[in-house]
Amino acid sequence: MIWLAFCGFDLYINSENQLVFKKFLNGNVVHIFEYGKQVLSLDVLKTPPRASSVEVWGESPGGSRDQQAWVWLTRDFSSSKTIVGSGAPKLLLERSTLRTRDATRIAANAALTAIQRRTLRGRLLAIGRATVKLGDAIRLQDVPDEALNDTFQVRSVTHHITKQNGFTTAIEFQSLV
């Protein structure tokens, strides 16, 4: 499923037990959480990007000629190569299914976006909010670290009901870049 991220799509099962395969844009709903009010705990992991640029190339020279020419082999990948971003380190992706320059461009942009989104991840424990779902976004407010007063993509949601803590919602999130 990691390759779906490099295509720019999310894959999950929603609360209606339907398989969802779509690009995450800004979230179906943006839920606002105020630090010190609804937020019980906040853990954040900031990491440098594992790559600053992405180079993607396909396999077939046929993409520049005809969709039916996929069986042709090539020694020169330059016609189907795309580079996005700049600097080092560079992530190299070779996918034989990428047969056109447009396909490699889309894959390269999606891969770079996925890498950039993983630079800021976290886990939020909040007073229970059953309306938060996959495909949504959260907006943090009044967090002492100004970089966290932003909107993030919801990556996982777990609701708990216990005698000791009551109804709580644990949300894992990542940057939107």
Q: Are residues 98 and 126 in the same domain?
A: no
Residue 52, token pair as written in the block: 């600053």
pLDDT band at residue 2 using 50, 70 and 90 as cut-offs: low
Residues with Cβ within 8 Å of residue 173, at least 6 apart in sequence = 121, 122, 123, 124, 138, 152, 153, 154, 155
Confidence of residue 114 (pLDDT cuts 50, 70, 90): confident
Read off the CATH number of the domain in which 158 is found. 2.40.30.150
Q: Does 16 reside within a domain?
A: no
Average pLDDT, the chain: 85
Considering the chain, what percentage of its residues have pLDDT values greater than 90? 41
Bridge partners for 57 per DSSP: 81, 94
Q: What are the backbone dihedrals phi and psi of residue 167, each rounded to the nearest 5 degrees, phi first?
A: -95, 120
Q: Which two tokens stand for residue 25?
A: 């844009």
Same domain, 81 and 136: no
- DSSP 8-state assignment for residue 31: E
Domain boundary among 84, 101, 117: 117
**Domain enclosing residue 82, as ranges:** 53-117
Domain count, the chain: 2
pLDDT at res. 94? 83
pLDDT tens digits, 41-74: 999 999 888 888 998 887 755 545 555 555 556 6
